[in-house]
A and B are shown apart, each in its own frame.
Chain A
Amino acid sequence: MLEIKDLHAGVDGNEIVNGVTLSINKGEIHAIMGPNGSGKSTLAKVLSGHPAYEITAGKITFEGKDLLELDAEQRSIAGIFMGFQYPVEVPGVNNAEFLRMAHNARRVSAGEEEIDPLDFDELLSEKMKMLGMEKKYKERNLKDGFSGGEKKKNEILQMAILQPRLSILDETDSGLDIDALRIVSEGVNKLRSESNALILITHYQRLLDYIKPDFVHVLNKGKIIKSGDKSLALELESQGYDWVTSRN
């Protein structure tokens, strides 16, 4: 599904991703862990098409398409979803209306008709129920005045509505209390299928207690220095990142 080959990328002349190679197939969950400043969030932004980041070398293909040829909007339409570490607030834009616009953007590009507003409301209510979100979040402006946990839940709600083929969740667990973490994780697990894939970017192992990864990669200084199965995350938890970074 996603092939990253020897990717080098940075911002303002500073190289932050320094030769990442990674292959992700349908149905797989990959966790990317690493110490602060290791390049995890930069990798997520590069994958989602942030214009501030420059790709200096390497290649990314998504379902056979050259991802670097697509802008952020086209990547979204192609089926890539980015769950932000710090979702931005957009005052004055109603949350439910925004979700319907995003849903319709995908339908229109697929040659389908826009969804009937009442049908969309039903779909939205169903997904909100799944995430234990109160109805009031429909009426509010996009994340304006949402708490940290509510913002993250809203990211997963968007994922549920957009049904992407590849989701990149950047530090989705940060700022969540244990109950919110459980609800968000259960939501993500319900959205899993054999036809989609997930990249979890996280600093801590605790998210992986709820969402079980097939592969765990350790990123350090912009490079994957170790890969393994979910037991690697447990080892990192008990021994710390020094355990791998000092040996590489």
Chain B
Amino acid sequence: MSDTLAEPTEETAFLDLYKKFVEEKKPQSALRAIQEAALSRFETLGFPHSKHEMYTFVNTKNLSTTLFKTPSYSKELAEDNIASHIFPDCENSCLVFVNGVFNSSLSKLGAIEDSVKISSLLEKVDTDYVLSVLENENDVFACLANVFCEDTTVVEISDKTQVPVPIQALFISSGDTSAPIICSPKLIWKIGKLAELKVIEKSVGVRSGYFLNMTQDWRISEGAGVVLTQVQADPFDTWNFIKTRVHLKRDARFHSANASTGSVLVRHHFEGRLEEEGAELILNGVSVLGGRRLVHNFVRIHHEAPQCVSHQHFKNVVNDEGRSSFDGTVIVNQGAQLTNSNQLINNLMLSNKCHADNKPNLMIFADDVKCTHGATIGQIDDDQLFYLQTRGLSEKFAKELLTRGFAESIIQTIQFPEVVKELSSTLLKKLEVDNV
């Protein structure tokens, strides 16, 4: 009789990595409780296969076959190296996360000291909220983010506070091309009643070889307003997963715009809950994908109260062998009367080998609502091209102008001129070199 060894499963590598992580980092008990709960939920959900509803359009197989390691502090990420990634308006209001961990010495908070309170969840041992969320977490990778999270940064804005400058959250990863590192920043934003806040989040890397797996929760109180701009600018050979969960109370607003250049796999998971009357959620996104870059947006918006508004508009410029995918559902609960919701995805295809998948959905359980959804996939419009050529513009330039124009309509919704300027010179610059 011989011993039988258990077949290694797709979960095994992450379970082994967690054992090493605990040995190395020796997390304190409050954090350990979160990690164990997340690990248990991860095991219950299991590593997703391609037929899993949430991952229909994304191939996660190479995540299970890659041997990750947990990060250590990288000395090369000193102040000089990160300065170029900080927007001018945020020089004194910048939270820096190095390899997923908040770094207080690199962060500059002078301009927001009086209006924003930044603390660690562990300082307050206030883990009930996180544990309750984990009980119902349906995203395997959000569970993994909690398993490997070294701390949770809590940003609190008190009632009626208008933060005078935009806050930037910079996620910078050192990367490791021999064994990719797994970086798991976690943020909880607590926005008080009638408070106003603008945030720019940017993810960058020194080199390839990392998996940025981030979760963030926005708890926005009555009458408060948040403007969030997310810029994804990671190198190609990286994974970037962000789960953004938004809870909106009465008359609260959350306006978000996301700009991505893609990577091996970028996945944005938005979960919006309009919990009380008059809440408003806007999600805009633009992706410019060349080479073999990929961006997947997974959106679930829950209208749970009457008179709420949600608008989504995503635009993708897809070239070469790039791939965009969108899976979005708006759920209008019973009783959420007079909901106003729309969802539109436009894809501009620039090559014969690029690919776009779209799955817009509506689930309506109320009878007095206004909801629309739609998706388009198309190429450069011949009539527009001819029109521009009759004004003396060359075919190449006219195509470039039309492509820029397609993306610009989302970029123009971004409220920060410096971000718009950067996107115009980096994101849209890609269009010029990607043989448009």
Contact = CB atoms under 8 A, between A and B. Distances in A.
Best-surrounded residue of B381, B405, B408, B412 (most CB of chain A within 10 A): B405
Contacts of B394: 73, 105
A52 B386 CA distance: 10
A102 interface: yes
A231 interface: no
Contact of A92 (B388, B395, B404): B404
A95 to B, nearest CB: 11
A3 to B, nearest CB: 21
Contacts of B21: none
Contacts of A49: 389-390
B379 to A, nearest CB: 15
B416 interface: no
Interface string A83-114: 01001101111000010011001100100000
Contact of B390 (A48, A92, A106): A48
A32 interface: no
Interface string A42-54: 0000001111100
B390 A101 contact: no
B373 to A, nearest CB: 20
Interface residues of A, number: 30
B384 A88 contact: yes
A65 B406 CA distance: 36
B391 interface: yes
B106 interface: no
Given A88-B381, A93-B402, A102 B407 contact: no
Contacts of A158: 391
A73 B401 contact: no
A90 B387 contact: yes
Nearest to A109: B392
B383 interface: yes
A49 B388 CA distance: 12
Contacts, number: 74
Contacts of A52: 382
Interface in B10-55: none
A125 B401 CA distance: 24
Contacts of B390: 48-49, 72-73, 75-76, 81-82
A141 B411 CA distance: 13
Contacts of A106: 392
Interface in A36-80: 48-52, 71-73, 75-77
B405 A141 contact: yes
A219 interface: no
A181 interface: no
B392 A93 contact: no
Contact of A88 (B383, B397, B409): B383
B377 interface: no
Contact of B402 (A75, A82, A87, A90): A90
A71 B381 CA distance: 18
B67 interface: no
Contact of B393 (A91, A92, A102): A102
A162 interface: yes
Nearest to A86: B383
A139 B27 CA distance: 56
Given A71-B389, A72-B390, A73-B390, 7 more contacts: A49-B390, A71-B395, A84-B387, A92-B405, A101-B393, A101-B397, A105-B392
Interface of A: 48-52, 71-73, 75-77, 81-82, 84, 87-88, 90-93, 98, 101-102, 105-106, 109, 141-142, 158, 162
13 contacts: A50-B386, A72-B390, A73-B390, A73-B393, A73-B398, A76-B392, A77-B392, A84-B387, A88-B387, A90-B387, A93-B402, A93-B404, A102-B391
